[in-house]
Amino acid sequence: MGTEQEYIVQREVLDQVRLDEVAEKGNWTTKPSLSERVKESLRCSVSKLKRTVVSWVPVLGWLPQYQFKENFAGDFISGCSVASMHLPQGMAYAPLAALPPVFGLYTSFFPVLIFVIFTTSKHISIGTFSVVSMMAGTVTQRLAPDQNFIVNGTNGSKVDTEARDAARVQIACALALLTGIFQILLGLVRFGFVVNYLSQPLIRAYTTASACQVACTQLKFLFGVSPALYSGPLSFVYTVVDVCRLLYKTRLVELIASLISLFVLIVIKQVNFRFKEKLFVPIPIELILVILGTIITHYGGLIGKFGISVVGKIPSGFRAPFVPNASYFPSIVGDAFSLAIVSYTINIALSKTFAFKYGYRVDNNQELVAVGLSNTIGSFFYCYNVSSSMSRSLVQETTGCKTQVTGIISSVFMLIIIVKVGSLFEELPKAILSSIVFVNLTLMFMQLADVYTLWKTSKTDLLVWLVTFICTILLNLDIGLAAAVGFSLLTFIFRSQLPRYYILGLVPGTDLYLDIETYREAKEIPGIKIFRSSATMYHISSEMYLDALEKKTGFDLETLLMAKRKREAAQKRKEEKELKKATQGNQEQNKLRRLLNGRFFFKKSRMSEEEFPEGQTSTKGPDMGEVNWGYQRDTSMFKLDSVTSFQSVDSIKKFPQIDEEEKGRFSGSDTHSIILDMTTTSFVDVATVNTLKKIFRDFEELHLDVYLAGC
């Protein structure tokens, strides 16, 4: 055992004036002046131009330095793997946006190329995403519902699907354009921090509820039923009830195809996960399933025999670019802003996750511009809203992706598929695509476990999670997001307005000061109260801070100060009364003294000097009476009274007399110091200063010392 050593640190205790003197406080600044900054911004040089161009177009920075031998093999394998997922997911997610599958293929090509040029992230896969597709679908179905395109034919009324799809494509492209404009503008004004206002519980709850909404839309394909189309609040509930009501009409072939697809996808994805270290590349089960499903449907004649629902016509090649119809902007501005925030939030969350893992930096604002340009430029080529996909990004990362070249490789494969191969999948059953959507939502369904985690860690975050989830499920994606953000901001306001206050105590044998109500071993230091707030003190919470301080320390300031002032007033009246009595007594004694010691003009006294009593003398003078000097005034009593009176007044100021009833209001009769722990106070406003002044003034009047710690 080592011997304990004592360390004594001696240094000067500095006040603010002395600190400024020792540290040589000055008024200089290291920031350049406004004129210098303007000159620097206007100054042009080759190096500055290069830095500016590279910051806005990052591909010009990393592509010339690309190390082909070290990186290309991993990027090529990763690009092929991601392309094998783009095909089935693009075809599966396009119907979520109420669009034909071919538009999902377009969205898996053009935006990916644009994103590669402008992104600073290396590992995320941009393109179609279930939640974003679902949000876009609510807009297209709201503005172009089926009932607007009903025509009368020989077999009765039916929906003109070509006209409906054409209108929905116009709406989806306009929505993507406006979403991209919002994202670019926010990026240009350096507004990337806006994502910080969306807490992680809110984002995870919103994506989980969105996954439930997506799954709800796929139930009709899994069971082969045709429920009515619902939109707006409670559409989720209505759809589930309607599907359950139509279960007796389930098509057996489509249900079997769905169950087999779900089983195969789940098993193979588990194999990919468990043996990811041993497998050279993950098994592209989605692509394999799409190919097998198309072959079986075609050669088995399932369409003619059982009327199984398939994808339908997929035109080969690209369409000529067009300008989206801006007349839809007023009707979709709110949805576009919601999509801008949600798609960027998902994008930046994945980007930062991989950047942290592999040790490189991601520019928040540049990522906002990158996804905005992907949406904006893509909208001219029949693409709808894009975002990062969790499942594709994980595959891209685990298959050896090194750089953004992976996106170029996957785009090349998608180009081949769109031009030559896409039309081969016209007979792909929709039940298989729905199964792919369901299984890819597994990661988001697993976020339901957040409820248990948040219950153990933070009840407030759990409340945000539950409110967000319920609002999104019941009120739909757009209104649900607005309600969730509003509730999240309310919790922040309530947290700042209703912080937790506590008294700190020292844990024996340590230097830790903890809440005495939470930690049993934390003991108060005798005579000292250490008070702490869990949040900063400002104008909203300053009054509550003072109330909590009185409650926690046991000092009812108003009552104590009132009692003290009453005592002082009573004592003052008593002193004045005694002083008045003493003054009257002094006046009488002064009269007597003047009578005995003064000189009086008498006629000659009949008494001779011999006639005075023994011990008394007489002074005689011409025409003067005799003065008696034998009487001596005893002034000791007055001196004692004077000293006692002075000491009594001083004692009242220093040691106020408190009766037993008032002492009971104190938390401890030996308390002499109050320490305010200010470590959580990040700024000080006028209300805070006034509150602190009042605390110091009131406790000083009660003869208690107040200290600030951790300023």
Percentage of the chain lying above the pLDDT 90 cut: 23
Instruction: Check residue 156 and report its DSSP letter.
Output: E
- For 432-461, write each residue's pLDDT tens digit: 888 888 888 888 888 899 999 999 998 889
Tokens read off for 252: 């057996």
Q: What span, in angstroms and rounded, lies between the C-alpha atoms of 679 and 504?
A: 13
Out of 3.30.565.10, 3.20.20.70, 3.40.50.300, 3.30.750.24, which CATH number does the structure's domain 500-558+670-709 have?
3.30.750.24
Query: Is residue 139 within 8 Å of residue 175, measured between CB atoms?
Result: yes
Quick one: pLDDT at residue 155?
64
Quick one: pLDDT at residue 428?
87
Q: What span, in angstroms and rounded, lies between the C-alpha atoms of 646 and 644?
A: 5
Quick one: pLDDT at residue 153?
65
pLDDT band at 464 (very low <50, low <70, confident <90, very high): very high
Q: Which of 136, 185, 117, 124 is nearest to 338 (CA)?
A: 136
- Vertex 284, ends 279 and 288: CA angle to 5°? 135
Task: State how far the alpha carbon of 336 is from the alpha carbons of 139, 182, 614, in Å.
Answer: 9, 8, 121
SS3 (DSSP) at 151: strand
Tokens read off for 319: 């369409």
SS3 (DSSP) at 227: coil
- For 343-362, write each residue's pLDDT tens digit: 888 888 788 878 888 888 88
pLDDT(341) > 90: no
Q: CA dihedral defined by 196, 200, 204, 210, rounded to 10 degrees?
A: -30
Q: Which of 107, 214, 270 is nearest to 434 (CA)?
A: 214
Q: What span, in angstroms and rounded, lies between the C-alpha atoms of 143 and 163?
A: 13
pLDDT(625) > 60: no
pLDDT(661) > 60: no
Q: What span, in angstroms and rounded, lies between the C-alpha atoms of 350 and 352?
A: 6
Quick one: pLDDT at residue 184?
94
Quick one: pLDDT at residue 637?
39
Report which secondary-structure segment, H or E, holds 529: strand 528-533
Quick one: pLDDT at residue 336?
93
Interval 466-475 mean pLDDT: 92
Taking the domains of the chain in order of start, what are their residue ranges? Answer: 69-224+233-496, 500-558+670-709
- For 253-268, write each residue's pLDDT tens digit: 889 999 999 999 999 9
For CA atoms 591, 594, 595, 597, give the dihedral sign: positive
pLDDT(415) > 80: yes
SS3 (DSSP) at 343: helix
Quick one: pLDDT at residue 377?
96
Query: Is residue 166 within 8 Å of residue 159, measured between CB atoms?
Result: no
Strands annotated E in 97-184 = 126-127, 150-153, 156-159
Report which secondary-structure segment, H or E, holds 505: strand 501-506
Tokens read off for 77: 């394998």
- For 523-571, write each residue's pLDDT tens digit: 888 888 999 988 888 887 888 888 888 888 888 877 888 888 888 888 8
- For 473-528, write each residue's pLDDT tens digit: 998 877 888 888 889 888 888 877 778 888 899 888 888 888 888 888 888 888 88
Interval 683-694 mean pLDDT: 88
Quick one: pLDDT at residue 651?
35
Query: Is residue 174 within 8 Å of residue 335, measured between CB atoms?
Result: no
- For 66-106, write each residue's pLDDT tens digit: 988 888 888 898 888 888 888 888 888 898 899 999 999 99
- For 118-170, write each residue's pLDDT tens digit: 999 998 999 998 889 988 998 998 899 888 888 876 666 787 888 999 999 99
Q: Which of 206, 224, 178, 438 is nearest to 327 (CA)?
A: 178
**Mean pLDDT in the chain?**
82
Q: The tokens 């119907």 sit on which residue?
A: 95
Q: What span, in angstroms and rounded, lies between the C-alpha atoms of 612 and 616?
A: 6
Q: What span, in angstroms and rounded, lies between the C-alpha atoms of 172 and 137?
A: 8
More confident residue, 97 or 390: 97
Quick one: pLDDT at residue 643?
39
Length of the chain counted residue by residue = 711
